[in-house]
Amino acid sequence: MIIGILGRKVGMTQIYQEDGTAVPVTVIEAGPCHVLQIRTKERDGYEAIQLGFLDKPRRLATRAERGHVAKKMESKRAKRRQALGIPIPPKAGCEPKRFIREFRGSVEGHEVGQEIRVDIFKDVPAVDVIGITKGRGFAGVMKRHGFAGQRASHGVKKVHRHMGGTGCSAFPSRVIKGKRMPGHYGNQRCTIRNLKVVGIDTEKNLLLVKGAVPGPKGGFLMIRKTNKVG
Amino acid sequence: MSQDLIRHVEQKYLKSDPPQFEIGDTVEVHTRIVEGNKERVQVFIGTVIARSGGGTREMFTVRRIVQGEGVERKFPLHSPNVLKVVVRRHGKVRRAKLYYLRDRVGKATRLKERFKRKKEKVQVAGEEELNNTNNTQTQEPATAGAE
């Protein structure tokens, strides 16, 4: 059984515990998701479930996307395969989905078309949240790596936010690989592990986790039971 | 839409009857303080100079002068640790943030208080007895809090 769901970041707020401490929480709209496909060892070489989150209007979905979820869709290929007696793989029979991701793990107890709701996290103490961080474009070293920059005065001219030296001199006469420099920052996959589950709202499909998660409000997220041990 | 969801989440943690006061009011803020396993109530008296934030994050700032030094404390309005806020006197003010009080010392702040007194006489007669009862109750913790 895989404990994972897809969702969307709603935003952050704070809630109070009974002893008066304020807990910063991120509200995640998690699910409901449909299982669109099941990956098996025999067929795909690994085990996973494929989940889909949020409906995509049929007019915007490609034919492939529609065929991926539709129980029955006429096509030459389908007819040909039918004539050859190849069974049609099980389909979810739901609307095309906007956000589709796979979760690996034992697929026992899952079936195509199954609906996954946020209540699977009922007894889960902590989760991992995977998202795409906010893109910052081409960023300098101060923003990207937290360098200190240079002085405001004492002869520093036009290089206040630059990095300092990049390494050694005559030996080795080159810059060491991996030297942190300006470049593209953000807009990359990021996993935040072991976020405490603070609350669940099954009615509105909300999941509350303590702390921040990557990405902007409205950004898509993968949430799974944490794989952190201890 | 997302704001609605956040409001929905916060709903449960908001006080059903949040303390009522206005900017410029002189208030007693009763806060619960836990020391080890002992609990006591501390009272902070001062002028409300600002309110900020919304939902569960709403805060208010109370300013007073202690031994010639300005002291400001910011309280979360909906925190369970803020037990109650008693309004001692209303202030007559014309803006939402009274940060200008920070630049004033002694007489200047007193001048403002005189404005309040004037307003109080005109506006709240029924409030008087309410304040009196509260004052007698909180006399002791008030001194404790000032220490």
**Which domains are present in chain A?**
4-139+193-225 (3.30.160.810), 140-163+181-186 (no CATH)
Q: What is the DSSP annotation of chain A?
A: ---EEEEEEEEEEEEE-TTS-EEEEEEEEE--EEEEEEE-HHHHSS-EEEEEEEE--TTTS-HHHHHHH-S----HHHHHHHHHTPPPPP---S--EEEEEEEES--TT--TT-EE-GGGGTT-SEEEEEEEPPP--EE-HHHHH------SSTT--S-TTS----S-BTTB-SPPTT---SEE-S-SEEEEEEEEEEEEETTTTEEEEES--SS-TT-EEEEEE-----
- The token duo for B32 is 């619960």
pLDDT of residue B110: 60
Q: How many CA atoms lie within 13 A of A93 on its CB side?
A: 10
Tell me the shortest Cα–Cα distance from B78 to chain A, in angstroms: 8
* Residue B146: predicted pLDDT: 42
Q: Which residues of A touch B12 (CB under 8 A)?
A: 15
Determine the pLDDT at residue A204: 87
The CA distances from residue B43 to A6, A19, A22, A198, in Å, are 47, 18, 20, 31
Other beta carbons less than 10 A from residue A140's beta carbon: 17
Q: Distance between CA atoms of A209 and A226, rounded to whole angstroms?
A: 12
Under-70 pLDDT residues of chain B: 1, 107-108, 110-147
Q: Does B54 touch chain A (CB under 8 A)?
A: no
Q: So what's the pLDDT on residue A134?
A: 94
Nearest CA in chain B to A218: B2
CA distances A22 to A15, A16, A33, A43, B39, Å, are 6, 4, 31, 49, 18
Residue B140 is predicted with a pLDDT of 43
Phi and psi at B68, nearest 5°, equal 75, 0
**Single-letter amino acid code for the residue at B71:** V
Backbone angles phi, psi at B38, to 5 degrees: -95, 150
ipTM of the complex: 0.72
Chain A contact present for B38, CB below 8 A: no
Residue B91: helix, strand or coil by DSSP? coil
Among residues A223, A227, A226, A205, which one has the least CA distance to residue A4? A223
DSSP 8-state secondary structure symbol assigned to residue B13:
T
CB atoms within 10 A of CB A215: 22
B135 CA: distance to closest CA in chain A (Å): 25
Q: What is the pLDDT of residue A213?
A: 93
CB contact, 8 Å: B16 with chain A? no
Instruction: Show which of residues 118-137 on chain B sit within 8 Å of chain A, judged by CB atoms.
Output: none
Residue B129 has a pLDDT of 44
Residue with tokens 């995640």: A28
Q: What are residue A167's phi and psi, to 5 degrees?
A: 155, -145
The list of chain A residues with pLDDT below 70 reads none
Compute the distance between CA of residue A41 and CA of residue A48 in angstroms, rounded to an integer: 9
Q: Which are the contacts of A88, defined by CB distance < 8 A and separation ≥ 6?
A: A72, A78, A81, A82
Determine the residue of chain A that is closest to B58 in CA distance.
Answer: A14
In whole angstroms, what is the distance from residue B31 CA to residue B66 CA?
18
CA distance A160 to chain B (A): 34
